[in-house]
Structure 1
Amino acid sequence: MVLVTGATGLLGSHLVLHLLENNESVRAIYRNPTAIDKTKSLFTLYDKEYLFDKIEWVQADITEIPSLEIAFQNIDSVYHCAALVSFDPNDEKLLRKTNIEGTANVVNFCLDYHIKKLCHVSSIAALGNLKEHENIFTEETEWNPEKFHSDYAISKYGAEMEIWRGQQEGLQVVIINPGVILGPGFWKNGSGLIFTKVKNGLSFYTKGATGFIVVNDVVKIMTQLMKSEIVGERFIAVTKTISFENVLNAIANALKVRPPSIYVKPWVTEILWRIDWIVSTILWRKIKLSKSIARSLHIFDSISNEKVKTALNYKFQDIEEYCIEIGTYWKK
């Protein structure tokens, strides 16, 4: 039986669906009962409701060790998708607890229960820092602790350290570092919020760029890596490096709305994140535009996907074409 953490998120839900379509027995972890409805809605979106009842749900929290006891019983392999994604500096402690301590707990249980293989979902945020003579991020890009990193990036890098510790203690592991994952069904958070904002008339864009990938490609790469003999490796999972402007235009085209037309320069976002910090401090609300996000909007990160293409002979789905496909699910 396969165990999936984070099964109520965009990636976890798609992973569970894919595993069930391929006749795998799946046990999925959830924290809040209402969160299961998100996964069920996704199955309905794909007209796969008949598969939903095959999921064996277990209420557990990766940061609460006692709750994981039942979840790991009779499990052969584990997909660790659960993580907190936040760029609010006020969430530093929660990020470390969830992403680092939570991953450490998963690794320890995998070791204790003699799990055959663990696939950990990391992020391109954990890749490291380019040196002066480098111009493209790869799996070998070194992490420089003296450089600025968001709390989220630090927590994902720390989580990877726990995975490598597990490997040293005898656990077979593989790590995947996805870029921004695009997929339907989760319109109120994560990348799904981009579709909602564009549909509602987003006017602004920046000219930064990063790696994007289709959710189904992430799922297929994960499952292929788990079925392979590859262990002790990490793989970047991005279709290509694409500008935020082009992604927003593709989404606008798919949703049949006007694309963002006002270019926001770097000095503007520098002012905006400071204003947002002041307002959030006064009103005691979560930060909407952090310093790390504001600056990343103008950075062109060129990211290589050569390693995974070579290892799996993998061909990625086109981002622009997939945005049109997501548009059809938006209508549903």
Structure 2
Amino acid sequence: MILVTGGTGLVGAHLLLHLIENGENVRAIYRNQNNIQKAKSVFELYKKAELFDKINWLEADILDVPSLELAFADIKFVYHCAALISFDPKNEDGLRKTNIEGTANMVNFSIAKGIEKFCFVSSIAALGDLAPHETYITEETEWNPEKPHSDYAISKYGAEMEVWRALQEGLNIVIINPGVILGPIPKTKNNDQGSAEIYTRVANGLPFYTLGSTGFVTVNDVVRIAFELMKSDIKNERFTLISDNIVFRDILNTIAETLKVKKPRIHASPLFMNILWLADGIFSTLFFQRKTITKATAKASYSKNLYSNEKIKTALGTVFLDVHQYIKDVSKL
């Protein structure tokens, strides 16, 4: 049997569907009964609702060790997708606890229970920092602790350290580092969970664009590659998963065209973004609101990071979906 954490999130729900479609026996853990509907809605979106009942749901929490004892019963393979995603400095403790301590609990149980293979869904945020002579960030790029990193990036890097530690203790592992993961376009205009927030902001009339860039990938590719890696003889490796490096303005324009709304038309320069995050910080503090822009997200908006996907293409012969075409296709679901 396969254990999936984070099954109510974007990647986890799509992974559950992919596993069930491929005839796997799957157990998924949840913390809140209401969140299971999020996963069910993914099955319904693809008109596969009849497959949802094949999942063995179990109430458990990666931070609650006793509950994991039941979750690991009869498990042979683990996909660890659960994580807290936040760029708000106020969530630093939660990020470290969920992403690092939670991952440590998962690998500790995997070692103790003799799990055959463990897949950890990390992030390109946990990859290294370019040296002056380097152009592309790869799986081998070294992490520089002296350079600034978001709390989220630090927590995912720390989580990876727990997985590598488990490797030294005998656990077979694979780590995937997806870029910005794009899934289906949400049906409502107030969805701010994960990458759905990108669609939501454009749909609500986002006026600004930046000329920074990063790696993007579709959720379909992420779950397909994770499944192929777990089925393969490949082990004890990490893989960067991006379809392409795309300028933010271009991805926003594609979304706007697909949704038939106005394209962002005002260029937000690095100076503007830095002023904006400072102003947003003051506003959120005065009015007790959640930060919408942080120093980390402001910097990311104009950074021009380039990521290489050559390793996974060589290992599996992977052909990625075109992100722009994917956005147009999912709009029809």
TM-score, with length taken from structure 2: 0.97
Q: Deviation at 1:128?
A: 1.3
Query: Which residue does the alignment assign to 2:76?
Result: 76
| Partner residue in 1 for 2:256 | 252
* CA displacement 1:281-306 (0-9 Å, x = unmatched): 22233221110100110011110000
Q: State the partner residue of 1:16.
A: 16
Aligned to 2:46: 46
Pairwise CA distance, 1:254: 1.4
Q: Aligned letter for 2:312?
A: V
> Which moved further from structure 2: 199-208 or 105-114?
199-208
Letter of the structure 2 residue corresponding to residue 81 of structure 1: C
Among the aligned pairs, what percent are the same residue?
58
Question: CA RMSD, aligned part only?
Answer: 0.9
Looking at structure 1, the residues matched to 25 and 185 of structure 2 have their Cα atoms a distance apart, in angstroms, of: 23
Mapped partners of 1:12, 1:177: distance in 2: 15
* 1:279 aligned to which of 261, 280, 283: 283
What amino acid maps onto 2:8 in structure 1?
T
Q: Which amino acid aligns with 2:228?
A: Q
| SS of alignment partner, residue 257 of structure 2 | helix
The CA deviation at 1:198 is: 1.3
- The equivalent of 2:218 in structure 1 is 214
Distance (whole Å) between structure 2 residues aligned to residue 220 and residue 37 of structure 1: 23
Equivalent in the alignment of 2:231: 227
The match for 1:298 is 302
Q: Residue 185 of structure 2 contacts residue 199 of structure 2 at CA under 8 Å; is this kept in 1?
A: no
Q: Give the C-alpha shift of residue 185 in structure 1.
A: 5.9
* Counterpart for residue 168 of structure 1: 168
Query: Letter of the aligned partner of 2:178 in structure 1?
Result: P
Distance 1:220 1:178 in 2: 12
Name the residue aligned to 2:205: 201
Measured in 2, the distance between the counterparts of 1:149 and 1:262 equals: 27
- Give 1:190 shift: 1.1
1:85 aligns with 2:89: no
User: Residue 81 of structure 2 aligns to which amino acid in structure 1?
Assistant: C
Aligned length: 329
Secondary structure, in 3 states, of the residue corresponding to 1:259? coil
Q: Distance in 1 between matches of 2:64 and 2:283?
A: 34
Partner-residue secondary structure (3-state), 2:321? coil
Matched, 1:309 2:313: yes
- Alpha-carbon distance in 2 for matches of 1:63, 1:325: 38
- Determine the structure 2 residue equivalent to 1:126: 126
CA distance in 2, matches of 1:235, 1:278: 39
Aligned twin of 1:114: 114
Contact map agreement 1:45 1:185 (CA 8 A) in 2: no
Superposed CA offset, 1:186-219 (max 9, x none): 5431111111221222211111000000100001
Corresponding residue SS for 1:289: coil
Q: Distance in 2 between matches of 1:284 and 1:188?
A: 18
The correspondence of residues 313-328 of structure 1 with structure 2, limited to 5 A, is 313-328=317-332
Per the alignment, do residues 185 and 63 of structure 1 end up closer, same or farther by CA in structure 2, a change over 3 Å counting? farther
For residues 101-139 of structure 1, the C-alpha deviation after alignment (integer angstroms, 9 at most, x for no partner) is: 000000001011110000000000000111111111000
For residues 204 and 282 of structure 1, what CA distance do their matches in structure 2 show? 24
- 2:4 paired residue number: 4
Q: Secondary structure at the match of 1:328?
A: coil
CA contact (8 A) 1:4 1:12 kept: yes
Counterparts of 2:307 and 2:207, CA distance in 1: 27
Compute the displacement of 1:251 (Å).
0.9
Report the AA paired with residue 66 of structure 1: P
What does residue range 153-164 of structure 1 map to in structure 2 within 5 Å? 153-164=153-164
User: SS state of the match for residue 53, structure 1?
Assistant: helix
Q: Deviations over 1:204-238 (max 9, x none)?
A: 11110000001000011100100111111000000
Specify the alignment match of 1:37 in structure 2.
37
1: CA distance, partners of 2:161 / 2:259: 41
1:270 pairs with 2:274: yes
For the residue of structure 2 that corresponds to 1:201, the secondary structure is coil
Structure 1 unaligned spans of 5+:
none
- Name segments (4+ residues, structure 1) moved above 6 Å: none
State the partner residue of 1:61: 61
Q: Counterpart in 2 of 1:105?
A: 105
SS in 1 for 2:331: helix
Q: Is the 8 A contact 1:42 1:185 kept in 2?
A: no
Can you list the C-alpha shifts for 1:230-288, whole angstroms capped at 9, x where unaligned? 11100000001001111011111211222111111111111111111112222233221
Cα distance between partner residues in 2 of 1:314 and 1:171? 25
